[in-house]
Structure 1
């Protein structure tokens, strides 16, 4: 029998409107009750910009920690601009906010990475930060390309900072780029430090995140290809009519999958 892994519930799994209306703390409590070990705070789901102020983040982080959970701080900001330059301001702000929250990970989108990582600059920003930077494959062509991610980690190694940051491997997001997640898992597995778990239903503009089926062989194969010890985040929507039961069911299932 394999050891259970940490399971994180992403705030959006409870419904974006529900999080904006009731705040993150309510759903962090629901995550703890469901058996999760971590909770992902989503900056875009703050009801007000004041929620991202240092004192507000610090208070939220302390309350999450009091529940016995560790946190991920997710921001929609991109590490690189559309023309391939490092967005140092976005990186700095994201790190500062994540530190205020007390997060274990700060997660950004990759954005328009081209060929130069500016690893030394990123390293300077991270030097005194007790938070791990991870970048996620997104749904858009820019920031969701397998070639881009391979290029990023090659560039970091070339620039002398091979382990500077990690990857959030979003299994479902590859569908928006018509990439089989198993094909992406092979070349990227060594860099994966956090997994967003979901599949998709529908096509094109009508594609939506969904819970993996218990007998989804492809999903199971992807998990087998990725590191077993890294946290797994639930990023698919729970059934609004049975949120607590749904959350508990999927936490237990994903921890043992």
Structure 2
């Protein structure tokens, strides 16, 4: 009876992804993603987010290297997210179809379930004319991975209005979804709870982090135990989408890096 109850609880919990940078950018660049995918598996994660900006060289982004990395991630029982710092829209607000195609091709080589770009565009938003949206949807249709765009830390690509306008202009089955980063809204001076209420129907992936400090001294941190605001925010978002941990694990005198990673996976699953 107890085993059955535990199984039902586990089945209901959201899938948890560990973002590679949670182990430290320097460690990923030094050791490679595959080493730390093993650590993510030991922590009990379901997925592992590969970060293109943390590759040691451009050779790591070649198809053969990505395919090998994907095989190693799957060997640990994990599925992959592929994240690129490239923006879906250029600085003038126009669609960057080349960036989308490259991200899709690289994600395909990795055999990623999700491919994530930044939204980009201007502070006023992105192009939403019919021709642009047709080209966007045609590009997305070529992807075997789910295409998501993330709210960044700048107002260009980080405002609620920009995402609201884009999704309002797209048809319901456009193929595009959103990575909702719970912390980045603060850098862009946006209200995360307002963003969640307005954008929840379009969210396909959540990046979980709290924010400490102010202004240029802000940094990502683990949500505090019993953080009611963070819990309220997550409650506004779809509970069936994966949650990624994107704050640093912090080993200490009484806890190893592996132990803190496992603890944080359990905490984010329980929120």
**Counterpart selection for 1:99 from 104, 108, 128:** 108
Secondary structure of the structure 1 residue equivalent to 2:231: helix
Secondary structure of the structure 2 residue equivalent to 1:108: strand
Map 1:204-243 to 2 at 5 A.
Answer: 204-241=215-252, 242-243=256-257
1:13 to 2:5 alignment: no
Report the equivalent of 1:165: 176
Q: Is the 8 A contact 1:153 1:162 kept in 2?
A: no
Report the equivalent of 2:62: 53
TM-score, normalised to structure 1's length? 0.96
Report the equivalent of 1:180: 191
Cα RMSD for the two superposed structures: 1.3
1:133 to 2:147 alignment: yes
Secondary structure of the structure 1 residue equivalent to 2:170: helix
Which sections of structure 1, spanning at least 5 residues, go unmatched? none
1:191 to 2:205 alignment: no
2: CA distance, partners of 1:126 / 1:84: 18
More moved, 114-123 vs 228-237: 114-123
Q: Is the 8 A contact 2:17 2:245 kept in 1?
A: yes
Q: Is the 8 A contact 2:141 2:175 kept in 1?
A: no
Deviation at 1:178, TM superposition (A): 1.9
TM-score, normalised to structure 2's length? 0.91
Secondary structure of the structure 2 residue equivalent to 1:9: strand
More moved, 196-205 vs 127-136: 127-136
- Who wins on radius of gyration, i.e. which is larger? 2
2: CA distance, partners of 1:128 / 1:167: 18
Deviation at 1:100, TM superposition (A): 0.3
**Counterpart selection for 2:72 from 59, 63, 73:** 63
**Counterpart selection for 1:150 from 157, 164, 167:** 164
Deviation at 1:121, TM superposition (A): 1.1
2: CA distance, partners of 1:31 / 1:49: 24
What are the superposed Cα offsets for residues 97-154 of structure 1, whole Å, 9 maximum, x if unpaired? 0000000010000000424162221222232421110000000110001110101101
Report the equivalent of 1:40: 49
Deviation at 1:35, TM superposition (A): 0.2
Report the equivalent of 2:98: 89
Which sections of structure 2, spanning at least 5 residues, go unmatched? 1-7
